[in-house]
Amino acid sequence: MAGLQADTPSPVAITLHQQSRVLEIGFSDGREFRLPFELMRVCSPSAEVQGHGPGQEVLQTGKRHVDITALEPVGNYALQPTFSDGHDSGIFSWDYLYFLGAQQEELWLDYNKRLAAAGVDRDAPMPEKAGSSCSSH
């Protein structure tokens, strides 16, 4: 998980759009991002997704239609979503949410490359073992 950086803009508006499956987040520097729930789920900063070290990442599949069923604040620095597939251990710090928004296009490209390299479809059931879905910065 990315640590909280002193210079990270803070959120000024957070809206959960259930129908479109998007977390809309506006930051104090004026940037606004629309983060698909699927991207948040496949790039979760949790150990379940990222592993405990390099090479232990788990490629996430079958998350296109995942919902966020709960969204809880963590102190004054993060959000902890509960996803409809039961995943609830990712703590998304403000800087990690900003990273996901700012790097969204690159993260999707990387995710699709990893899917292709693993020979699995985005909508396939979760494989037993696979490569990383996203790398934190």
Q: Name the strand (E) or helix (H) holding 108.
A: helix 104-118
How confident is the model over 4-49, as pLDDT tens digits? 667 889 999 999 999 999 999 999 999 999 999 999 999 999 988 9
Question: Could you tell me the pTM of the whole model?
Answer: 0.87
Order of all β-strands in the sheet with 32-36: 11-17, 22-27, 32-36
pLDDT at 2: 41
Question: Helix, strand, or coil here: 82?
Answer: strand
Domain map of the chain by residue range? 11-118
- Give the burial class of 16: count Cβ atoms within 10 A of its Cβ; 0-12 exposed, 13-18 middle, 19 or more buried: middle
For residue 128, name the pLDDT band (cuts at 50, 70, 90).
low
For the domain 11-118, what is the CATH code? 3.30.2020.30
